[in-house]
Amino acid sequence: MSDLTSIDHSEKKVSVFKDFLSLIKIGIIHSNMLTAFTGIVLALFYNGLSIQDYLLEILLALMGVWLVIAGSTTLNNYIDRDIDEHMERTKNRPTVTGSFSPTLILTIGFVFLAIGSLLLFQTSFSAGIIGVMGSFVYVVLYSLWTKRKYTLNTVVGSFSGAAPPLIGWAAIDPDLHFFAWVLFFIMFIWQPPHFLALAMKKVEEYRRVGIPMLPVVYGFPMTKRQILLWVISLFPLPFLLSALGPVFIGIATVLNITWLVAGLYKFNGKDGKWANRMFIFSLNYLTLLFLSIIFFSLMQIF
């Protein structure tokens, strides 16, 4: 009997942990931690600084970014609980199932956001301000306002999604150099094609809950053209990081061309397959590009 009780307790702990990870949107946190760390490493390289001398700032920045994003996404889940229950990919979130109480969810969100912001302010005033502004854009301007009213909600949300590399840089160098803004614009431009492809995949769900995503309001042809325009807009940006060397520029350019080719391939074919291809490639693109920036920055540092 005790063995069965022990197993039951273990299963409950696993379930609670999974619910917690779903609540804070751990996938979004992972990708943003990569971009924040990229900002840190690029700032160290540009300023000729040693990693060992900035270990505390790096640790505080990464912890702060993690908590600010976790707090912001938790509040986003609380706000979206009424529509999440009608969407396949979100219907099992703890805000919908009730496994976490609304009071607990709000507490987690605000506490994480407050502690994370304080940690960022310990690195620099700039990092703290950017963290607070990024959260404000995501929670208020995106989640509470534009998401349910305007097709430009994706662009508005992109401002907050582009904040982590700026925070990472500001934690090391409060005077944001041009390179920091290049990272910001890479992330800002990357997000619309990524999330519009996702919106195409889930268009019926968004239509059912009344969220005016671009494919819902203007259809697939318009959305596909918009995605390709955003992808093309990424092409000049790697050349602005020429200090990382010609090999990096070559890798980044190949990634950009490959993404465009993936979009042109069977452009008028089945929309679902096209959207899925573009969505998957966007994830690989982000990972490979930012790992390349980290690698070539570290090569210069060491």
Q: H/E element holding 231?
A: helix 214-233
Q: Tokens 């291809």 label which residue?
A: 277
Per mean pLDDT, which range of 1-5, 12-16, 96-100, 253-257 is the poorest? 1-5
Q: Which pTM does this prediction carry? A: 0.93
Q: Are 205 and 88 in contact (CB under 8 A)?
A: yes
Per the CB < 8 A criterion, the answer to whether 286 and 31 are in contact is yes
Report residue 51: phi and psi, to 5°. -60, -40
Q: Using 50, 70 and 90 to split pLDDT, how confident is the model at 256? A: very high
Sign of CA dihedral 97, 100, 101, 105: negative
What are the tokens at 163? 């904040």
Residue 86 scores a pLDDT above 90: no
Greatest CA separation found in the chain?
66
Tokens of 246: 């010609």
Helix ranges (H only) for 25-162 are 26-47, 55-79, 81-84, 94-97, 102-123, 125-136, 153-161
Mean pLDDT of 109-114: 98
Percent over 70 (pLDDT), the chain: 96
Q: CB within 8 A of 163, min separation 6: which ones?
A: 130, 131, 133, 134, 137, 184
What is the reported pLDDT for 9? 57
Q: Give the model confidence (pLDDT) of 118-133 as tens digits.
A: 999 999 999 999 999 9
- What is the CATH class of 22-301? mainly alpha
Please count the other Cβ atoms lying within 10 Å of the Cβ belonging to residue 122: 16
Domain ranges of the chain: 22-301
Q: What are the tens digits of pLDDT across the range 21-37?
A: 999 999 999 999 999 99
pLDDT > 70? residue 290 = yes
Q: What torsion, rounded to 10 degrees, do the Cα atoms 190, 194, 197, 202 define?
A: -150
Is residue 6 scored above 70 in pLDDT?
Answer: no
Q: What is the pLDDT of residues 145-160, one digit of tens each?
A: 999 999 999 999 999 9
Q: What is the mean predicted confidence (pLDDT) over 41-61?
A: 95
Q: What are the pLDDT digits (tens) for 204-249?
A: 999 999 999 999 999 999 999 999 999 999 999 999 999 999 999 9
What pLDDT score does 300 carry?
84
pLDDT > 60? residue 200: yes
